[in-house]
Amino acid sequence: MNTKQRIFSAIQPSGELHIGNYLGALKNFVELQDKYDCFFFIADYHSISGEYDPQKKKKQIMDLTLNFLAIGLDPEKCTITVQSQVPEHTELTWIFNTITPISELQRMTQFKDKSQDQEKNINMGLFDYPVLQAADILMYKAYGVPVGQDQIQHIELTRKIARFFNNKFGKTFPEPKDIITETPKIMSLIDPTKKMSKSHGPKSYVGINDEPEIIKQKMKKAVTDIGTTGKMTPATENLFLLLKILGKPEHYKEFLVQHKKGIIKYGQLKEALADDIINYFTPFRAKRKELESKPEYVKEVLAIGADHARKIARETMREVKEKIGLVL
Ligand code: AMP
């Protein structure tokens, strides 16, 4: 039996992964897998609460799985699967729905933001999204959830749902903690008042699968300030943060000194950052190419993950149903 503490996190298969997703979550997944019993899911049910093309969904799921494996998630160390392959998640969501006050969901800032992004499709799934997320996490009685800053409010709600359930039906779920990186919120390259996000268009982010030429073009267009001394603007702060984590240490030091002296040339900083990002993700791109020729292996990883996850999910559901009085 595995005695390590459990970690759960998921990412939606809804298009490209960007360096914000990587620095806020995925990088941490890779580091945590050595220490914890990790469950990393492809959140397909979450992704259908947004606008999507059913013809593309399967490819997006396979793409994200390839990204997980190519970035270094090891199926020998962690459980990787697709949310809808474990139907117990939606079953537990229904039970949690019955103990979650609507007022809690109305406070969620992500619901408010996404409602603006998809005005014509403010569906029930979008509203209930955090309850499904709580079911995902609590199903495995996770100790921690590695996420970016935008998810902290949802994890707080997950803790509340655990508390509501425990108070009503007896101690069942631990209250999970959020685990964030030193880069929990990477900002958009073209508008540093907004977080880097797919919904703000491709110019706002660098995708981890972007070709070198595209990375160079996007970095060229990144906004900066006018290059005088003094305090950094949010835009330059964001670029320096990217350079600190993804760049060569000597680049970071050199440009920091230039900034302090007020002699920095942002064109040079952006060129160096583009090159460093390209280099950083080169092994990832090579590994991804190699895995693309092995779709059967990728499917097998997901099937093995689903089998393992379902065993635990069934146990949790048995316990939950017993506690709420549904076992005859
Ligand atoms: P999602 O695409 O919403 O499934 O997000 C996947 C993960 O990436 C979540 O843990 C988010 O909190 C994280 N994330 C998304 N955007 C950013 C960002 N701009 N900076 C840091 N983390 C992010």
- For position 327, what pLDDT does the model report? 92
136: CA distance to ligand 1 center in Å? 17
- For position 230, what pLDDT does the model report? 66
Helix (H, G, I), strand (E, B) or coil at 39: strand
**Which pLDDT tens digit goes with each residue over 218-254?**
999 999 976 555 678 999 999 999 999 999 999 999 9
148: CA distance to ligand 1 center in Å? 5
Helix (H, G, I), strand (E, B) or coil at 50: coil
* Catalytic (active site) residue 114: yes
Domain of residue 257, residue span: 198-283
From its phi and psi, is residue 13 left (phi > 0), alpha (psi between -120 and 50) or beta?
A: beta
- For position 3, what pLDDT does the model report? 87
Q: With respect to residue 273, please indicate whether it lies within any of the assigned structural domains.
A: yes
- For position 226, what pLDDT does the model report? 60
199: CA distance to ligand 1 center in Å? 12
Q: With respect to residue 180, please indicate whether it lies within any of the assigned structural domains.
A: yes
Whole-prediction pTM = 0.95
Domain of residue 155, CATH code: 3.40.50.620
* Catalytic (active site) residue 195: yes
Indicate the residue type of 311: K
Is 21 touching ligand 1 by the criterion CB < 6 Å?
yes
Same domain? For 33 and 170 the reply is yes
Cβ atoms < 10 Å from Cβ of 12: 22
Q: Which of 27, 114, 141, 218 is catalytic?
A: 114
Q: With respect to residue 250, please indicate whether it lies within any of the assigned structural domains.
A: yes
* Catalytic (active site) residue 248: no
Same domain? For 134 and 212 the reply is no
CB contact at 8 A, 145 and 178: yes
Can you tell me the distance from the alpha carbon of 42 to that of 302, in angstroms, rounded to the nearest whole number? Answer: 10
Same domain? For 88 and 42 the reply is yes
Q: With respect to residue 288, please indicate whether it lies within any of the assigned structural domains.
A: no
- For position 317, what pLDDT does the model report? 98
Per-residue tens of pLDDT for the chain, all 328 residues: 678 999 999 999 998 999 999 999 999 999 999 999 999 999 999 999 999 999 999 999 999 999 999 999 999 999 999 999 999 999 999 999 999 999 999 999 999 999 998 999 999 999 999 999 999 999 999 999 999 999 999 999 999 999 999 999 999 999 999 999 999 999 999 999 999 998 888 999 999 999 999 999 999 999 997 655 567 899 999 999 999 999 999 999 999 999 999 899 999 999 999 999 999 999 999 999 999 999 999 999 999 999 999 999 999 999 999 999 999 8
Domain of residue 273, CATH code: 1.10.240.10
| Nearest-CA residue for atom 18 of ligand 1 | 20
From its phi and psi, is residue 161 left (phi > 0), alpha (psi between -120 and 50) or beta?
A: alpha
**Strand residues in 31-72 grouped as ranges (E):** 37-42
